[in-house]
């Protein structure tokens, strides 16, 4: 027999537990520490379309990227992925951890392609914090230098580079759960929408009536 003392009104329980909780909003200047390594989530498989589109878009006329017959006669035996695509992909993968709150990227240095990338390779990226310092001209940001490293699924290093973004300080960004980065004020769920069981129940009733 069920223990009646543990039975609760599911609607009331859900309403009482409703909260507006901040998701991942990226690191601010204060969150970085020299020596920290961030392994960026997911990984991305490079497709032929990625390579062909970027090669055409940037007017890269080296046949190694778009001429299979030509590439087949080279030491690689097939087309290579445009190196600038690999750079853009790895940098993009790092944004979630390094520069989601950057106001500008000051530079990319020591760029090295260590191994070729082919169609079908899956790329993973990580960043290591090399240096951080206060900005001399802007009080609301600091400068963070990281080494970005990209690998294929065989753990072969294919790319490394250093980059230095200006990153907002937390006190100046003032992130909130109701208005995360990129959201206009007042859009979506607001604190008053989740303030207690009565509000929560009313919201459900309103949705049911529509």
What residues contact 61, with CB distance under 8 A and at least 6 apart?
Answer: none
Q: Are 161 and 83 in contact (CB under 8 A)?
A: no
Q: What is the pLDDT of residue 180?
A: 85
Written as tens digits, the pLDDT of the chain (210 aa) is 445 444 444 554 554 678 888 889 999 999 999 999 999 999 999 999 999 999 999 999 999 999 999 999 999 999 999 999 999 999 999 999 999 999 999 999 999 999 999 999 999 999 999 999 999 999 899 999 999 999 999 999 999 999 999 999 998 888 888 888 888 889 999 888 887 544 445 555 666 666
Cβ–Cβ under 8 Å, residues 167 and 141: yes
Which of the 8 DSSP states describes residue 193? Answer: G
CA gap 174, 94 in Å, rounded? 22
What's the full length of the chain, in residues? 210
The predicted pLDDT at position 181 comes to 83
The whole-number pLDDT of residue 210 equals: 64
Distance CA 151, CA 177 (A): 34
Interatomic CA distance for residues 136 and 139, integer angstroms: 7
pLDDT at 38: 98
Q: What's residue 146's pLDDT?
A: 98
pTM, full prediction: 0.82
Task: Sketch out the chain's domains with CATH numbers.
Answer: 21-173 (3.10.129.10), 176-210 (no CATH)
Cα Rg of the chain (Å, integer):
24
Quickly count helices (H) and strands (E) in the chain.
Answer: 6, 6
Can you tell me the distance from the alpha carbon of 208 to that of 61, in angstroms, rounded to the nearest whole number? Answer: 58
What per-residue confidence (pLDDT) applies to 172? 86
Q: What is the pLDDT of residue 201?
A: 56
């Amino acid at each position: 027999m069920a223990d009646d003392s543990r039975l609760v009104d599911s609607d009331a329980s859900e309403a009482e537990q409703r909260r507006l909780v901040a998701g991942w909003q990226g690191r601010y200047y204060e969150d970085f520490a020299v020596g920290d390594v961030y392994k960026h989530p997911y990984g991305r498989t490079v497709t032929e379309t990625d390579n062909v589109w970027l090669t055409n878009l940037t007017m890269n006329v080296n046949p190694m990227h778009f001429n299979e017959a030509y590439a087949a006669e080279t030491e690689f035996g097939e087309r290579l992925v445009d190196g600038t695509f690999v750079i853009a992909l790895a940098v993009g993968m790092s944004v979630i951890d390094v520069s989601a709150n950057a106001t500008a990227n000051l530079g990319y240095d020591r760029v090295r392609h260590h191994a070729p990338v082919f169609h079908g390779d899956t790329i993973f990226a990580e960043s290591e914090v090399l240096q951080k310092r206060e900005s001399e001209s802007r009080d609301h940001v600091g400068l963070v230098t990281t080494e970005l490293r990209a690998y294929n699924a065989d753990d072969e290093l294919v790319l490394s580079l250093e980059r230095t973004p200006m990153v907002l300080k937390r006190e100046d960004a003032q992130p909130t759960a109701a208005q995360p980065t990129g959201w206009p004020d007042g859009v979506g769920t607001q604190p008053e929408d989740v303030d207690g069981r009565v509000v929560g129940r009313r919201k459900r009733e309103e949705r049911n009536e529509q």
